[in-house]
Amino acid sequence: MSADQYAARCSVALDEALTAVPFYRGWRERDPGPPRPLAERMAALPVLSRRDLRAHVPNGFVRDGLAVRDGFASGEIELVTTSGTTADRVSVVWHQPWWDRSLREAARGHPALDRVYGGTYREAVLTSPMCTGNLCHVGELPAAERTLGNMLFLNQEIDPARWDGRAIRRMADEINAFRPEVIEADPAYLAVFTRACNGLPLHQPLCISLTYEFPSRLHIREIRRVFPAVPVVSSYGSTETGYVFTQCEAGLFHQNTASCHVDIQYLDSSRGDGRVGRVLVTTLGNPWFQLVRFDVGDLVRVADGRGCACGRAAGLTVETIEGRVRDLTFDTSGRAVTVRRLDDALASVSGLTGYRVEQAGAREYLVRFTAEPGVQEAIAADLTSAVRGVYGADAGVDLRREAVLVPEQSGKYRLAGTSFQWDPEELFV
Backbone angles phi, psi at 335, to 5 degrees: -85, 145
Dump the DSSP string for 350-362: TTEEEEEEEEEET
Q: How confident is the model at residue 379 (pLDDT cuts 50, 70, 90)?
A: very high
**pLDDT value of residue 409:** 79
Q: Are 291 and 48 in contact (CB under 8 A)?
A: yes
Based on its alpha-carbon atoms, the radius of gyration of the chain, rounded to whole angstroms, reads 22
Global confidence as pTM: 0.94
Which residues, other chains included, contact 131 with Cβ-Cβ below 8 Å and sequence gap of 6+?
83, 186, 212, 411, 412
CA nearest neighbour of 226 among 195, 189, 253 = 195
Q: What is the pLDDT of residues 279-289, one digit of tens each?
A: 999 999 999 99
- At 314-331, the pLDDT tens digits run 999 999 999 999 999 999
Q: Does the domain at residues 329-427 carry the CATH identifier 3.30.70.100?
A: no
Where do the structural domains in the chain lie, given as residue ranges? 3-324, 329-427
Query: Per DSSP, which regions of 292-363 are E strands?
Result: 294-302, 317-324, 329-330, 336-337, 352-361
For residue 88, the tally of other CB atoms under 10 A from its CB is 15
Q: Is the preceding omega at residue 58 within 30 degrees of 0, hence cis?
A: yes
Predicted local confidence at residue 377, as pLDDT: 74
Note the CATH number of domain 3-324: 3.40.50.12780
For residue range 67-82, list pLDDT tens digits in order. Answer: 999 999 999 999 998 8
Return all residues near 57 (Cβ < 8 A) that are at least 6 apart.
Answer: 79, 90, 91, 92, 93
Nearest alpha carbon to residue 327 among 396, 408, 398: 408
